[in-house]
Amino acid sequence: MGCQSWSSYLEEYQKLLFRLDTPRVVIDNGVCSSTTVVKVDSARKHGILLEAVQVLTDLNLSIKKAYISSDGMWFMDVFHVTDQNGKKLTDERVIGYIEQSLGAIQHDRTHDDYTGLTILELTGTDRVGLMSEVFAVLAHLDCNVVEAKVWTHNGRVAAIIYVKDSNSGSPIEDSQQIYRIEALLKSVLKGDSDIRSARTSVSMVAVTHTERRLHQMMFADRDYERRSSAATGLEVGAEDDVSKVAVTVLNWVERGYSVVNVQCKDRIKLLFDVVCTLTDMQYVVFHATINTFTDSIANLEFYIKHVDGTPISSEAEKQRVIQCLEAAVERRASEGVRLELCTADRQGLLADVTRTFRENGLSVTRAEISTTMGTAFNVFHVTDAVGNPAEPRIIEAVRETIGMSELQVKEMPLIYSQKEEREEETVGGVAGAMLFSIGSMVRRNLFNLGLIRSYS
């Protein structure tokens, strides 16, 4: 082989390596009249579909349709996306960011960058006032909450909280301080009736994407199992018209696939939640079709195998997949009233806000906390003590306490109806007694932790 031929061979080989390591990304606004089409073509590896979906959903883009195909060692994804207003993508900066990010998905860009912060992970039994106690402990220990995400499902809670020392503004590295944080938070999470072990951990490095980690934490906590809530005595996780999820699993024996179909109300990040769960359960998506219908119902169909190339092998495994996918969709379901707080950040802000929620009998079902340049932007989904939509008069009372201009109502459930005066009085009496009981329990817990002098 001559020198020129050998040089040509090396050049072609280098091109092949570059092709393997760099996905081809095409973003087209001309193919479809209502959506922007994003195409990704690359070598296949486990988890790459999740990484691609993650890039799009982190921008809060809505995936209206998608076609996923993987043959041999290659895969191709076609996504039809819109922005939060249902429009095509026109901002060249956003388009450029998508191209750059999708072009780097082969390089394990799955974690969030929270350099300079201490990361707290918490799981335990959910109850009214729990997050009030958690944020009160952190404020007492001089921990400034920079960002946080809280999910609840089936009577369980998972939270990832990013903090720094409020005095120095640095990560919390002192071993004694870390031990104290873990011990006090674990005591709060256990409460008086946690039938399972509450868990807390402190780390300095985010090992994976925050929302993927929340899915993993709740999966490890087995939140997908149906059970009664220890706090309320009511069956939790029951489906309703808003969050109903239909999941079926069949085996296509001739082709060696398991076919998973998910049908539910469409929402942003739905595809991420489903693909995240399938990936972490060690299934590979070979083909998939996603469609959103005019009545906002999404239909997701996946052809999957285990990572070892085998389909689902038993009825028990099939039922577990169904339960886990139902839970993955339900965890992010918007329950209750969505409240948005935008105000100047300060030490103890979250403790004060969540205490106001607790004093008015409101339970936080989901929360997203963020701060930017001294401004706090926090989103809370709240219900009453037993998981029903909070009364508008209670929401207004909370807003008056916190600040009408700072705390805004963004979503209100459409299930309020006129009640008979006698029923309202009865409910009011029960709610009042429950609120007193909840308040006593929270004060007792804070007293036991040494955060207040008396709970009497």
- The pLDDT of 167-193, averaged and rounded, is 90
CA-based end-to-end distance of the chain: 91
- The pLDDT of 401-421, averaged and rounded, is 71
- The pLDDT of 349-368, averaged and rounded, is 96
Q: Who has greater pLDDT, 25 or 435?
A: 25
pLDDT of 118 higher than 80: yes
**400 vs 203: CA distance, rounded Å:** 38
Q: Who has greater pLDDT, 225 or 110?
A: 225
Q: Tens digits of per-residue pLDDT, 294-306?
A: 778 999 999 999 9
Q: What is the mean pLDDT of the chain?
A: 84
**106 vs 75: CA distance, rounded Å:** 12
The domain spans of the chain are 26-110+244-330, 118-204+334-448
pLDDT of 455 higher than 90: no
**147 vs 367: CA distance, rounded Å:** 10
The pLDDT assigned to 5 comes to 65
Query: Per residue in 6-33, is it b (16+ CB within 10 Å) or e — as a string?
Result: eeeeeeeeeeeeeeeeebebebeeeeee
- The pLDDT of 255-266, averaged and rounded, is 95
Q: How far from the centroid of its chain's Cα atoms is residue 4's Cα?
A: 55
Is the dihedral angle over the CA atoms 210, 215, 219, 222 positive or is it negative?
A: positive
- Percent helix, strand and coil across the chain, each rounded to 5? 35, 30, 35
**272 vs 322: CA distance, rounded Å:** 16
The pLDDT assigned to 190 comes to 87
- The pLDDT of 418-445, averaged and rounded, is 47
Q: What percent of the chain has pLDDT over 70?
A: 79
Q: What percent of the chain has pLDDT over 90?
A: 64
Residues 6+ apart with CB under 8 A from 122: 134, 157, 158, 159, 160, 161, 185, 189, 198, 199, 200
For 220-289, the DSSP string reads: HTTTTS--B-TTT-SB-S---TTT-EEEEEEEETTTTEEEEEEEEE--TTHHHHHHHHHHHTTEEEEEEE
Q: Give the closest residue to 379 by CA, choosing from 407, 412, 356, 419.
A: 407
The pLDDT assigned to 451 comes to 52
The pLDDT assigned to 13 comes to 52
- The pLDDT of 319-348, averaged and rounded, is 93
Min mean pLDDT across 43-47, 258-262, 452-456 is at: 452-456
**With bands split at pLDDT 50, 70 and 90, how would you rate the model's confidence at 421?**
very low
Q: Who has greater pLDDT, 48 or 358?
A: 358
Q: Give the closest residue to 288 by CA, choosing from 259, 265, 313, 309.
A: 259
Report whether 337 contacts 413 (CB < 8 A).
Answer: yes
pLDDT of 418 higher than 70: no
pLDDT of 293 higher than 80: yes
Residues 6+ apart with CB under 8 A from 336: 363, 365, 381, 382, 383, 389, 390, 413
**With bands split at pLDDT 50, 70 and 90, how would you rate the model's confidence at 436?**
very low
Q: Tens digits of per-residue pLDDT, 206-229?
A: 778 999 999 999 999 999 996 544
The pLDDT assigned to 229 comes to 42
Min mean pLDDT across 36-45, 176-185, 245-254 is at: 36-45
The DSSP 8-state label assigned to residue 213 in this structure reads H
pLDDT of 236 higher than 90: no
Q: What is the pTM of this model?
A: 0.83
The pLDDT assigned to 108 comes to 55
> Strand (E) positions, 74-189?
74-82, 118-125, 143-153, 156-165
Q: 118-204+334-448 adopts what CATH topology?
A: Alpha-Beta Plaits (3.30.70)
